[in-house]
Amino acid sequence: MGLKTVVRRLSLVVPPLTEIYIWPTILDKGKTGVGGKSLEGSPFLTVSVTKPTPLSISTIHAILSFSSNDNLTKFTFHLNNDQAWILYASLPIKLSHELSEITSEAFSSIIRIALFPDFNSKNEDILDKYTQFLLPSVSLSQKVIPMLHFFSDYKYKSIDGELVGVVGDSWLLKTDSVSVTWHTSKGVKEESHDKIVSALSKDVEGLKSSPITTTSSYFYGKLIARAARLALITEEVNYLDAIPIVKKYLKESIEPWLDGTFNGNGFLYDKKWGGIITKQGSTDTGADFGFGIYNDHHYHLGYFLYGIAL
């Protein structure tokens, strides 16, 4: 589905089901009088039009029905993909529609568009009442934000689970701390050990026949961390025969980066800034994702430190 007025495109993803496009001539409200806002988590896409501007809302789907209230400040339209949308306007606006497009005369107003979940009249009442304050929240949050008001029937589907409508002016998120340990917090079921050991033996044996070929500190580090993780898993399921193999692999893979014998890259001490950089990063600011200019050090060095610690 798309909103457009003429030329350039600003793409805004409206959670959770569709993508809306705004096409102002220039994406600068001061020059064109058209500005778009999408608050992460909000079911509404807001477009502010401060100078008289015609608007076109287009979609790849057919518009099956289109209706408005008597004041011309609320419009509901159903599409042939089983979606329904509600458009709110701060001032009366005249809209007309064809098969896959809704158009307006030049107008100045604020419009807000929201997906109408499940065509439920209760959900419509919620959208009508809380156009300023409604945010969908992942169900888990309901357990940790007791001071907010939740609408359990107002739901969107998302990759994070069901998003439930929430109304409030502040969120106080409190989570239980998770202890940091070498092994899993709940352990591994005894009946799963044999299957895990079988897979581990293949992965550990593969370390012998799969030498690291990349010279990138980032991708090299990821492979080191992956091997180090195998050592922790083998220890937890008591497959101790594999640990010497992983330990040897880590030692032979990490030490060349530290003693200057790795061909093609390695870690250096930067005398100017007093930090660690890579050989490639010392001559190319774009190498190793900007490692030479101190970008993403916690990623790259974190992988190596994880392997060294194990």
Where in the chain do CATH 2.70.98 domains reside? 2-167
Assess whether pLDDT exceeds 60 at residue 230.
yes
pLDDT value of residue 39? 57
Q: What pLDDT does residue 23 have?
A: 33
Note the pLDDT of residue 55: 80
pLDDT tens sequence across 127-139: 777 665 444 444 4
Over range 260-271, report the average pLDDT: 94
Please give the pLDDT value at position 86.
Answer: 87
pLDDT tens digits along 52-79: 888 888 888 899 999 999 999 899 998 9
pLDDT for 305 beyond 90: yes
Average pLDDT over residues 20-31: 36
Average pLDDT of every residue of the chain? 78
pLDDT computed for residue 20 by the predictor? 34
User: What's the rounded mean pLDDT across residues 286-305?
Assistant: 94
pLDDT over 70 (residue 294): yes
Closest CA to 193 of 242, 234, 229: 234
Give 36 or 26, the one with higher predicted confidence: 36
The answer to whether 309 touches 301, Cβ cutoff 8 Å, is no
What is the pLDDT, as a whole number, of residue 7? 25
Global confidence as pTM? 0.51
Express each pLDDT in 83-102 by its tens digit. Answer: 888 898 888 989 999 998 88
**Radius of gyration for the alpha carbons in the chain, expressed in angstroms and rounded:** 28
CATH class of this structure's domain 2-167: mainly beta
